Structure 1
Amino acid sequence: MNKIKLLLIAIGFIFSLNLYAQNDFKIGINVGINYPKVRGHEYAKYNNFKVGYLFGVSIDYYLKENLSLKTNINYERKIKKLQLTYFSYTSEEIGTENFSEIYEYINIPILLKYEFGNSTFFVNGGPFFNYLLNNKIEPDFPNEDSDSYTEQKKIDFGFSLGIGTNISLNEKNDITIEIRDDLGIIDTGYVPKSVKGTVKTNAVKFILGWNLGI
């Protein structure tokens, strides 16, 4: 719960900027889904990730009419599917059990956003920073041997690129729809010690935002 409180404090800080925001600012909320994967070692492709989700707040600061700096503070959950297969003493398969490995992050991208003339479309790109709040397996995974993996690192960093569209609701409010790709460039650890390599992240996201017009 302390992690959720940290996100709520950050959200409150961003909304406090409304006291000073003029036409140069747009402040909003966003929700979305993600589909992650990893790369960097020979068994990375066998990781079975599922669709996760994110939510948070956004702020756009306009440098020019069509050019802005955009940032988010998001809580993001990434989910990997694990499965154990059980065998009898005679090597006959007798059943399977499914588990979910859950990664909880605070995700902060800092993006340069360009809106194309009078159209509704935009592109944005820039660095992102992830901080790992928690990593857990549900339900409890039997006989987990953490010594067989390299240390799980808290920090993830990389570059983000997105494309989307604005849908105007009225003079102040609009909806944004965006597809974004976060490509990690540093080793985040948790590599099986039996293999060589790294773990670098990648996540494709579908994000729905609402600029609140306040």
Structure 2
Amino acid sequence: MHKNKLLLLVLGLIFSFQISAQNDLKIGVNAGINYPDVRGHEYAKYNNFKVGYLLGISLDYYLTKSISVKTNVNYERKIRELQLLYFQPGGDEIGTKTFKDIFEYINIPILLKYEFLNAKLFINGGPFFNYLLHNKIEPNFPNEGSNNQTEQKKFDFGASLGIGTSISINEKNDITIEVRNDFGIIDTGGVPDHVEGEVKTNAFKLIVGWNLGL
């Protein structure tokens, strides 16, 4: 009899834990656009960045009803436009050619998220980590192989801060819309050799996510 009661108690605790775990976790997918920038040296302001995009997955683990730890694993593409001027032997300009300098990253933010107004609005903040997968120029840049700048570093690190809204679809599903800023705090390289300073990144993002409670 005691064994049956103990078994029922254990099963009840396991069942309660599973329900709690299901209410504490959300997984999702997200997509969005980014507008990058750099700072840190005198010519940084002349960079001509364009809108890029990101795709990824998300995970929310709830510590309380309104506070969670949120992380993403995103593939992120950032784009900078380059232009070359072409001149005749006499010095007259004959035209320009445009190139795209493309940076492909894995982006991982680890954020503390706080929901308010009945979970309709949220803010989040914390560190982010970027790993540079690939950097290429399309089409082939004439002096792409020249060594006239500091080494492009693989890692980027900084602080991320976002604000957004959550739109409930049903008990399990919701859509989030977020504006986020990733503010880099370390030198990522790529500075022309004749220029003093560093390159630190910045990126404004608009992210739309679909989340499923488990």
Task: Give the residue type in structure 2 aligned to 1:91.
Answer: G
Residue correspondences, number: 195
**Cα-to-partner distance string for 1:149-198 (whole Å, 9 max, x where unaligned):** 00110000000000000001111100000000000000000110111000
Moved more, 43-52 or 118-127: 118-127
> Contact 2:127–2:159 (CA<8 Å) still a contact in 1?
yes
Task: Give the residue type in structure 2 aligned to 1:54.
Answer: L
Q: CA deviation at 1:117?
A: 4.0
Aligned counterpart, 1:163:
163
Q: Describe the SS at the equivalent of 1:106.
A: strand
Task: Give the residue type in structure 1 aligned to 2:120.
Answer: T
- Output the TM-score relative to the length of structure 1: 0.89
Aligned counterpart, 1:187:
187
Q: 2: distance between equivalents of 1:135 and 1:147?
A: 15
Q: CA deviation at 1:118?
A: 1.4
Aligned counterpart, 1:28:
28
Task: Give the residue type in structure 1 aligned to 2:103.
Answer: Y
Kindly indicate whether residue 81 of structure 2 is the aligned counterpart of residue 52 of structure 1. no
**Cα-to-partner distance string for 1:13-68 (whole Å, 9 max, x where unaligned):** xxxxxxx9611100000000000000000000000000000000000000000000
**Alignment of structure 1 residues 138-177 onto 2, 5 Å:** 138-177=138-177
Aligned counterpart, 1:93:
93
**Cα-to-partner distance string for 1:123-160 (whole Å, 9 max, x where unaligned):** 00000000000000000000235411001100000000
Q: 2: distance between equivalents of 1:89 and 1:58?
A: 56
Aligned counterpart, 2:199:
199
> Contact 2:22–2:213 (CA<8 Å) still a contact in 1?
no
- Aligned-pair identity in percent equals 72
RMSD: 1.2
Kindly indicate whether residue 115 of structure 2 is the aligned counterpart of residue 122 of structure 1. no
Moved more, 160-169 or 112-121: 112-121
Q: Describe the SS at the equivalent of 1:186.
A: coil
